[in-house]
Amino acid sequence: MHYSLLFLLLLRSFTTASGFGSLGPIAAAFGDNGFFCAIDASGKQEVICWPKNTTLLSSSSSSSSSSTAYSSLTSIPPMEALSGGEGFLCGILANTSRAFCWSSISPGVDLVPLAYRATAYSQIAAGKSHVCAIRGSYYSDHDSGTVDCWDVVKGSNNSLTSAQSSGFYDQSIGNLVFNRVVSGDGFSCGEVREGGVVCWGPNSTTIGVSEASENYIALASATDSVCGISEESSEVKCWGRSNDSFSSLPIRTRFVSLAAGAEHFCGIREDTHGIECWGSFNLSSVPKGGSGFVAIASSDFTTCAIRENDLVIDCWFSDGISPPEYDPPLELCSPGLCVPGSCGDREFVFNASILNEPDLTTLCVRKDLKICKPCGSDCSKGFFLSSSCTANSDRVCTDCSLCQNSSCWDVCGMQSSAKKQWHHLSRLLIVIGSSAFAFFLILTCCFVLPCLITTRKEEGSKNQFKSCIGKSELETDNASESYQPPSMASCPGMAQVFRLSELKDATNGFKEFNELGRGSYGFVYKAILPDGRQVAVKRANAATIIHSNSRDFEMELEILCNVRHCNIVNLLGYCSEMGERLLVYEYMPHGTLHDHLHSGLSPLSWTLRLKIALQAAKGLEYLHKEAEPSIVHRNVKTSNILLDSEWGARIADFGLLTANEKDFGGDMKTDVYEFGTVLLEILSGRKAYDRDCTPPSIVEWAVPLIRQGKAAAIVDRYVALPRNFEPLLKFADIAELALKENPDDRPTMSDLANWLEQIVKDIL
């Protein structure tokens, strides 16, 4: 017999709930033999498990465990999603969508019945002692199918085995097609494709739902109670026989995720992404302030969640005083499940680049999948909202110690007396400043102005270097022809000198969330200056400072100040205060060419790709031929070609090997070779070196094909081909010339720029 209208459950994402029967990137097995598992953030979907009071184990680990009962956990295959029952966990296998269940008592036994092991499933939900799963592919955006259920049976020696379920078989639901399913203690419920939700199982009448007409975006089950997040209000509503589970139920608090223990519930708030718990739980143990969380799971007495700022796991305990039962790993864990389709409203696509792992471009094993997370709307106490959520990033919370103006005073709780003191100080500064300005004006009129007039007459119409800042795009378009560079000694004095405190405030204290990238020199941060300009701040690390003296830094400034071109990331200023060495550059809002070719950003049309190639060539040509002194880049690659607000290409991070050094001409030809590799990446969409390809080197793969007249075979098929295909073949020929083995046979950057300019004209 089945029972309908337990919940009208509409799960908009798989990551919204944990506990019995919930699907997420982290899950807990209940009971005396409980354990936690999570999907790691390597992009390979490997599973990390940590049992009670034992050494951390991983599906990728080859080392032996101190606990023989868990030694077989090292064979857990990669997973797309996890769901926990009592003493066992289930998941959907990466790539195949098949179900896989395991336990700590009998780790070598797959708890999926043989009849179901070859079946693909789009969802799986482990209850207390049963499992239900929907047939279909996990990778389909809206896949649906019939439901299979099986029992997880405890044997005489407490080992677990599986059996085709009799208690959960109901003929009336056998032919229904489900979009979603969730399991609890003795019941399961599913969303039917035609609309509505039906529930079945021996305990489906014990919950006592009183508001069956409302839809819910998340559901979690404790021992004898259930809580759900209302789709309409995002508030929590609970049902069941245990009143203790509903004590201290949050009122008028919006949630995005739920987890259930034996007698308690915890949820992630919608605004701050902080944790709220209720039921038989010591609220003093719940983490307060600081980082928010992106995923959560509970066992009987322990709750673990993944922090949103660094993806490391925190755990806390229901009595608030017990020593840790679980020793969580320090590995980064996935913030959510990899899903097909587009993200919804008030959600953002989690970007792997914020993890600062150079080899990690995605957290999903398949490139067509993404992790969608709910936006936060506010920050925890002690932090203020410095940036709102966008389609590709969550809101940014900044420590109140960096609050500099009235926009964050109220949020950070600054006292009214402090505000009054600030206003009085401001007025005093205005009075002092006015008097000083008047004195300065008199001095200027009497002494300085006549000198300036005389100097200007003497200089006549000679072109002047205006400084390293403030040059417009119009001026830089013909920079190589329109100005004579100054003597190198004068340039640092003409660049804008920034105070360390100013740059620290502009980067929110050089916080990681402002980091744009890192290299051998140091770190690069996004910054917003007091005048509203967005800039990039390059901060030298300790090793760079130790291995170079102040004169080296001054020489670098002298050269960089003279470099002005529309296809170069130009220097705006510097700071050398208190032992720091910081360079301030123009900010490039569209990121790197590498991101667009290889990291899932906009794929770029052929017209734009060829224009970027031409502009990058002109930037390198300027460094080789027009800069004074000439400069060799020495590190030409797609991650060092940045895109400005108009999608123009800018060369960044060039070295300082100049014409005064040995083998300058040979080094220029090295730049040409590296640029040839960039051209192949633009043409093919493939990385310069990819271990998943044979051969892994793009040069070894593409150049022989070009020389055999098969250049069409390397053209990126994920971008619509232009009507005129001939320019792309010529483009391949140019790349092949730049990649000649003998440096003397390679063209100059001027040759490449001229040829690419003709190709751009041909394709327009």
The pLDDT score that the predictor gives to residue 599 is 82
The pLDDT score that the predictor gives to residue 14 is 38
Contact by Cβ (8 Å): 718, 367: no
What angle separates helix 749-763 from helix 664-684, to the nearest 10 degrees? 20
The pLDDT score that the predictor gives to residue 90 is 93
The pLDDT score that the predictor gives to residue 459 is 40
The pLDDT score that the predictor gives to residue 603 is 77
Rounded CA Rg of the chain: 31
Structure token pair of residue 473: 């795009």
Give the separation between CA 762 and CA 764, rounded to whole angstroms. Answer: 6
Spell out the SS3 assignment of 29-91. CECCCCEEEEEECCCCCCEEEEEECCCCEECCCCCCCCCHHHHHHHHCCCEEEEEECECEEEE
Handedness of CA 503, 504, 508, 513 (dihedral sign): positive
Give the separation between CA 527 and CA 152, rounded to whole angstroms. Answer: 55
What angle separates helix 749-763 from helix 606-621, to the nearest 10 degrees? 160
Spans of the chain below 50 pLDDT? 1-18, 54-73, 210-212, 415-426, 428-429, 431, 444, 446-493, 656-660
Contact by Cβ (8 Å): 62, 73: no
The pLDDT score that the predictor gives to residue 143 is 66
Give the separation between CA 591 and CA 387, rounded to whole angstroms. Answer: 18
Give the separation between CA 577 and CA 502, rounded to whole angstroms. Answer: 11
* Phi, psi torsion values for 485, nearest 5 degrees: -65, 150
The pLDDT score that the predictor gives to residue 27 is 92
Residue type at 711?
Answer: A
* Beta bridge partner(s), residue 384: 398
Structure token pair of residue 330: 């320090």
Of 634, 616, 641, 710, nearest to 673 (Cα)? 634
% helix, strand, coil for the chain, step of 5: 30, 25, 45
Can you spell out the DSSP letters for 616-660? HHHHHHIIIIISSS-EE-S---GGGEEE-TTS-EEE-----EETT
Give the separation between CA 12 and CA 342, rounded to whole angstroms. Answer: 12
The pLDDT score that the predictor gives to residue 70 is 35
